[in-house]
Amino acid sequence: MSSQKRKQVILGAYLGGVNHHTAWWDPQAGSQIEFDSFEHTARTAERGKFDFFFLAEGLALRERAGQIFDQDIIGRPDTFTVLASLAAVTEHLGLAGTINATFNEPYELARQFATLDQLSGGRAAWNVVTSFDAFTGQNFRRGGYLDRAQRYERAQETVALVRELWDSWRSDDIVADKASGRFLARPDAGEFAFHGSHFDVNGRFTVPRSPQGRPVILQAGVSPQGRDFAAGNADAIFSPYGQLPEAADFYRDIKARAVAAGRDPGDIKILPSASFVLGTSEADAIEKYREIRDQQVTGQTALVLLEQIWNLDLSKYDPEGPLPDIAPDPEAPPIIQGRAFIHQDRFATVAKLRAVAESKKLNLREVVIDQFERGPIVGTPQQVAEKIDSFVSNDGSDGFILGSHLVPTGLDEFVDDVVPLLQDRGVLRSDYEGTTLRDNLGLPIPVQRERATAR
């Protein structure tokens, strides 16, 4: 029998709250704002030896025809405040936050994440995102938004500058010799200068280097430009693919792009998000999933999701009836604001939906479920453990970021019933071996860059 160690499963935990998948109306659901909810999820994840806790962020409340709608959870505390609070009630769990690179200054970003990294003992991670619309930009001084090319250009420069700020301190810069009175090893600790197309700054950075060198960088990217950016900059990338073989194709592509960027392919981890439904039998799990899905995709939710494509008020249509018999209107003012529009060709998308409805004999709501809902991992605990192990071992990903429709207790049964089975398979740690997030993810401490005075 081979003694080779099996490929380990990376696990992140997310607390839902920015889309209709979170069943806030469920009698067992708790608050999306109270600290107890964040603490419960984080402590549960750490009990299950997860790698990190992930917190998404929305910079604007989503609207339909100028009014906030109830499909999404409304409001969420500031990400840095929540993660810093969680650092005090956890010991090993990584703390990952989504922070926008379009409307935040690099110096502020670098300082906030470096502070979180210091306070947590090297457990911070930054999910780098960009803003996609002028609607979100209205909340900020500059307003507006950048086109796709400029968004990535600014994001690339932001990440480069933030890393330079993090690297402006060496790990041995603080001597703090009480006998001699010498505090710093060199007088220029923290000095930086950066000259680019978006930023022209210089000064002294205020936060010394953390135990993991730099916070971990997370990124999502599906377009060729997004994939190149992630492969060149990220330590981990969120994958949108939860099924083989397309997930394996994406995995190979990102690893190849990492190599082309001069990186070791093992130094970038691929992580799709997923939910799960457990049952005492497969049939029981499937029945539970159907009940949850019907809670999530109500008739009203189905109409709102289709209004994104049609860009028209569809409230007069019956969700249990046929698809709208009208054409979309791309030129009309957006009826849905604050959601990323991923369907580039409205007319082609509508044609596809109608073809699906006709071939499968589906009504409007059923078409939405069939086409837009990524199914969770469903089965008994043994089946779910096997599916996760198989997906990772076949290079569909390096792990999963798991969440539940039920906040904050939904993760409990996974930790109680599935985690021990993954540990028995030898694909999940039984205890933390390192102290930093990079230790847990199997990522090296980054080589410190020399200070650059020009770009």
Give the residue ranges of the annotated binding site for FMN.
98, 152, 223
In this structure, which amino acid lies at residue 406? L
In angstroms and rounded to an integer, the radius of gyration of the C-alpha atoms of the chain is 23
What distance in Å separates the CA atoms of residue 306 and residue 367, rounded to the nearest whole number? 10
Paired residues of 55 in beta bridges: 97
CB-based contacts of 80: which residues, under 8 Å, 6+ apart?
97, 99, 112, 116
Backbone angles phi, psi at 173, to 5 degrees: -70, -30
What distance in Å separates the CA atoms of residue 438 and residue 450, rounded to the nearest whole number? 21
Paired residues of 202 in beta bridges: 193
* Encoded tokens for 136: 């979100």
In this structure, which amino acid lies at residue 371? Q
Q: For residue 33, what is the enclosing H or E element? A: none
Residue numbers belonging to the annotated binding site = 98, 152, 223
What distance in Å separates the CA atoms of residue 73 and residue 80, rounded to the nearest whole number? 19
Q: Per-residue DSSP letters for 366-418? A: HHHHHHH----EEE-HHHHHHHHHHHHHTTS-SEEEEE-SSTTTTTHHHHHHT
